[in-house]
Amino acid sequence: MSADVMPITENKNTKKAKAVDTPWKTAFRRFTRNKLAVIGFIMIVFMFILCFLGPVFSPHNLFDYSLKNKNLAPNSMYWLGTDKLGRDILLRMMLAGRISLLVGFVATFIAVMIGATLGALAGFYGKIIDTIIMRVADIFMALPLLPILIILGAVLSDLKVDPSSRIYYLMVIIGVLNWTTLARLVRGQILTLREQEFMQATEALGLKDGRKIFKHLLPNTIPVIIVTATLSVAGAILTESALSFLGVGVVPPTPSWGNMISAANNLIDFRKRPWLWIPPGMCILITSVAINLIGDGLRDALDPKTKK
Amino acid sequence: MVKDLVEFRNLETHFHTTAGTVKAVDNVSFTIREGETLCVVGESGCGKSVTAMSLMQLIESPPGKIVGGEILFEGRDLLKLSKRDMSKIRGNEISMIFQEPMSSLNPVLTIGHQISEPLMLHMLLDRKAAKKRAIELITLVGISRPDKIFDSYPHELSGGMRQRIMIAIALSCDPKLLIADEPTTALDVTIQAQILDLMRDIKQKLNTSIMLITHDLGVVAEMADYVVVMYAGKVIEEAPVLELFQDPQHPYTKGLLKAKPIINQKQERLYSIPGQVPNPIDLEDNCHFHDRCEFCMDICKVKQPPFRTHGKDNHKSACWLYEEEREVL
Amino acid sequence: MKQYIIRRLLQMIPTLIGISIIIFAISAMVPGDYITARANPNMSIEKQEQLRAIYGLDKPDYQRYFIWAGNMLKGNFGDSMQHKQPVTTVINTYVWNSFIMGIFALFFSWFIAMITGIFSAKFQYSFFDKVVTLLVFICMSLPSFFIGLLLIKFLALDLKLFPVGGMSTSGLNATGWTYFTDVLKHSFLPIMVLTMLSTGSLTRYFRTSMLEVIRQDYIRTARAKGLKERTVIFKHAFRNAMIPAITLLGFELPGLFGGAMILEQIFAWPGIGHIYLNSISMRDYPFMLGFTIFLAMLTLVGNLLADVLYGIADPRIRLK
Task: Please report the ipTM that was assigned to this predicted complex.
Answer: 0.84
DSSP string for residues in C141-208: H--HHHHHHHHIIIIIIIS--S-SSSSS-TT----HHHHHHHHHHHHHHHHHHHHHHHHHHHHHHHHH
Collapse the DSSP code of B35 into the 3-class scheme (helix H, G, I; strand E, B; otherwise coil) and give the result: coil
Mean pLDDT, chain B, whole residue set? 83
Q: Does C137 touch chain A (CB under 8 A)?
A: yes
The answer to whether A241 faces chain C, any CB pair under 8 Å, is: yes
Mean local confidence (pLDDT), C285-309: 86
Give the list of residues 6+ apart from residue C91 with CB closer than 8 angstroms, or none: C77, C272, C290, C291, C294
Q: Per-residue pLDDT for C291 more than 80?
A: yes
Read off the pLDDT of residues A167-223 as tens digits, 9 standing for 90 and up. Answer: 899 999 999 999 998 999 999 888 888 777 777 777 777 777 888 888 878 888 888
Chain segment C182-217, per-residue pLDDT in tens: 888 888 889 999 999 889 889 988 998 898 898 888
Residue A21 reports pLDDT greater than 70? no
Question: B329 vs chain A: nearest CA distance in angstroms?
Answer: 32
Confidence of residue C37 (pLDDT cuts 50, 70, 90): low
Cβ within 8 Å, pair A4-B44? yes
The per-residue pLDDT for B302 is 79
Spatial distance between the Cα atoms of C174 and A281, rounded to a whole number of angstroms? 37
Chain B residues lying within 8 Å of C240, measured CB to CB: 106-108
What's the confidence (pLDDT) of residue C104?
Answer: 92
The answer to whether the Cβ–Cβ distance between C218 and B88 falls below 8 Å is no
Any CB–CB contact under 8 A between C23 and chain A?
yes
Confidence at residue A10, expressed as pLDDT on a 0 to 100 scale: 39
- Cβ distance of A2 and B50 shorter than 8 Å: yes
Domain map (residue ranges) of chain B: 4-93+174-322, 105-172
**Residue bearing the bigger pLDDT, A184 or B17:** A184
The model's pLDDT over A225-256, given as tens digits with 9 standing for 90+, comes to: 888 899 899 999 999 999 999 888 888 888 89
Q: Does C120 touch chain A (CB under 8 A)?
A: no
Average pLDDT, stretch A253-262?
Answer: 88
For the segment B75-106, what is each residue's pLDDT rounded down to a tens digit?
888 888 888 888 888 888 899 988 888 888 88
**Can you tell me the distance from the alpha carbon of C1 to that of C6, in angstroms, rounded to the nearest whole number?**
9
Does domain A24-58+79-302 fall under CATH 1.10.3720.10? My reply is yes
A42 in contact with chain C, both atoms CB, cutoff 8 A? no
In sequence order, which residues have a C-beta less than 8 Å from that of residue A261 and are 6 or more positions away? A241, A245, A277, A280, A281, A284, C145, C146, C149
Q: Looking at residues A22-46, what average pLDDT do you find?
A: 85
Give residue A8's pLDDT: 37
B49 to A15: CB separation less than 8 angstroms, yes or no: no
C-chain residues within 8 Å CB-CB of B166?
221
Q: Are strands B209-214 and B177-181 parallel, antiparallel or unpaired?
A: parallel
Across the interface, whether the CB atoms of A8 and B47 are under 8 A apart is answered no
Q: Do residues C200 and C137 make contact, with C-beta atoms less than 8 angstroms apart?
A: yes
Q: Is residue B326's pLDDT more than 60?
A: no
Predicted TM-score of the model (pTM): 0.83
Are B78 and B92 contacting, i.e. CB atoms less than 8 angstroms apart?
no
In tens, the pLDDT along C105-122 reads 999 999 999 999 999 988
Sequence-ordered list of residues with C-beta below 8 angstroms from that of B171, at least 6 positions apart, any chain: B95, B137, B140, B141, B178, B202, B206, B208
Q: What pLDDT shows up at residue A192?
A: 84
B52: nearest CA in chain A?
A: A2
Check CB contact under 8 Å for B280 and A15. Answer: no
Residues of B in Cβ contact (< 8 Å) with A1: 60
By the 8 A CB rule, do B178 and B201 touch? Answer: no
Distance from CA of B325 to the nearest CA of C (A): 45
Annotation: CATH topology of B4-93+174-322: Rossmann fold (3.40.50)
Span C60-88, average pLDDT: 81
CA-based max dimension of chain B? 71
pLDDT digits (tens, 9 = 90+) for B236-248: 888 888 888 888 8
In C, which residues are within 8 Å of B121 by CB distance? 225-227
C248-277 residue pLDDT tens:
888 888 888 877 888 888 888 888 988 888
Chain B residue with Cα closest to A12:
B279
Categorize the per-residue pLDDT at A108 as very low, low, confident or very high, splitting at 50, 70 and 90: very high
Q: Quick check: B56 and C217 CB within 8 A? A: no
Q: Does A261 touch chain C (CB under 8 A)?
A: yes
Contact B280 A8 (CB under 8 A): yes
CB of B58 less than 8 A from some CB of C: yes
Tell me the longest C-alpha to C-alpha distance in chain C: 86
Q: What is the pLDDT of residue A14?
A: 41
pLDDT band with cut points at 50, 70 and 90 for residue B275: confident
Question: How many Å lie between the alpha carbon of C2 and the closest alpha carbon of chain A?
Answer: 23
